Structures are given as C-alpha cells and as structure tokens.
Amino acid sequence: MGIIRFFDILFALLGLLILSPVLVFIIIAIRLTSKGNVFFPQIRVGQYGKDFKVLKFRTMYVNAERKGFLTVGGKDNRITRVGYYLRRYKLDELPQLINVLKGEMSIVGPRPEVRKYVDLYTDEQKKVLDVLPGITDYASITFRNENELLASVENAEEYYIKEIIPQKNSLNFKYINNQSVVEYFSIIKKTLVTAIKGS
C-alpha cells in the first residue's frame, strides 16, 4: 500500500466517523424538504476509463438531471433549498468518502467526469484517466464557482467543453505530474479553507 493510499483510507474513515452527526443531519434535512432518495449515485469515468458510481447527497429534485448534466447559476431552479447550501459548502461530496474506501477514488485527484464529456477528450487529456479520480484537486478549487461562471455565458455547454474542460485538465496535470505527500496535503488544506469560506 502506498503512502497516499494509506492517508486516503485513514482520512476517509476519520471523516465518516467525525462527521457522522453532520451526515445524519443532512440526511434528515433532505428527507424532510424534498421527495426522493437521499443519495444520488451517478455514473462517472474512473481510472483507466472504467465507469463507476460516484456518490453524492441529492441536491436536485428527482429526474432533474434529464434536463442536462451542467448546473447553471447559484439559483438553478432544479436545485432544492437544502441542495443550494450543500453545494455551496461542498457538503454534497461527503458520501464520496465511501468511494475512497472502496478504492474507486482518492481524496486528491482529478474530479471524475461523465462519459459524455470524456469521449470528447484529446489523447493528451485522456492521460488524466491514468490516476484515481479524487474528491478535490486544483481544478475544483479554481472552478469552485463554476455554476455562476456558466450562467454568465450564452451557451453554457459549449463554453464548458471548449474553455473549462481544457483548463481543468491543465490543472489536473499540475498535480498528476507532481504527485507527492506535500502536494496532497497542500490541496486538502486549500480545499478546507475555501469550503469554510463558502466562496
């Protein structure tokens, strides 16, 4: 077992244990405010191009994903009241600690993308699939307010494909090409700071 995998397992176990009261509160809040399952498993592309189900707390109304994968603006009407705050503070991502324990994800690594957009990757961009996807990375931090950015353009999906994906992959390689325990902890620290600020 590598040192980073060791920290992945350790942090995932500690996170689930320490945050268990928060997780229970979120589950109750989702149950009381909207119909549907608490969790929203979505097929994403993982390491070596293998599909897996990434776990999230449901932040949208049931079947909202049929209107598209991208969420636009902080007040997308598909997002529930509780979902808005879960997304703002990235709390909807907490169930992915289970994906980490299963070995499908790392705490730090490129965010897993849906197949629709991975199929558009260039051969160079597909190299991000050589590593485990992660809960957070430089791209997650940089594009924290991605929804608001997409809301400011005329064609959100076109902008996402032509502008955001290339920039995200460039940031992904910043970590992939310099993987180390120091980088790992640096990204975790920056993620926690931005999550606490909520912006």
Of 110, 115, 99, 90, which is closest to residue 195 (Cα–Cα)?
A: 90
Q: What's the pLDDT at 82?
A: 93
Cβ atoms of 141 and 190 closer than 8 Å: yes
pLDDT (tens digit per residue) in 69-90: 566 555 677 889 999 899 888 8
What pTM was computed for the model?
A: 0.88
Those residues with Cβ within 8 angstroms of residue 18's Cβ, 6 or more apart along the chain or in another chain:
none
pLDDT of 30 higher than 90: yes
pLDDT of 28 higher than 90: yes
Tell me what the mean pLDDT of segment 118-128 comes to: 95
pLDDT of 52 higher than 90: yes
CB hemisphere CA count around 144 (13 angstroms): 18
Helix (H, G, I), strand (E, B) or coil at 125: helix
pLDDT (tens digit per residue) in 175-196: 999 999 999 999 999 998 887 8
Q: What's the pLDDT at 127?
A: 95
Of 199, 144, 149, 142, which is closest to residue 175 (Cα–Cα)?
A: 142
Cβ atoms of 82 and 29 closer than 8 Å: yes
DSSP H helices, the chain, are 3-18, 20-33, 81-88, 96-101, 115-118, 138-142, 146-151, 156-159, 165-176, 181-197
CA 141 to chain centre: 11
Any idea which of 27-36, 62-71, 141-150, 161-170 has the lowest mean pLDDT? 62-71
Position 40 confidence tier, pLDDT thresholds 50, 70, 90:
very high
pLDDT (tens digit per residue) in 131-146: 999 999 999 999 988 8
Helix (H, G, I), strand (E, B) or coil at 44: strand
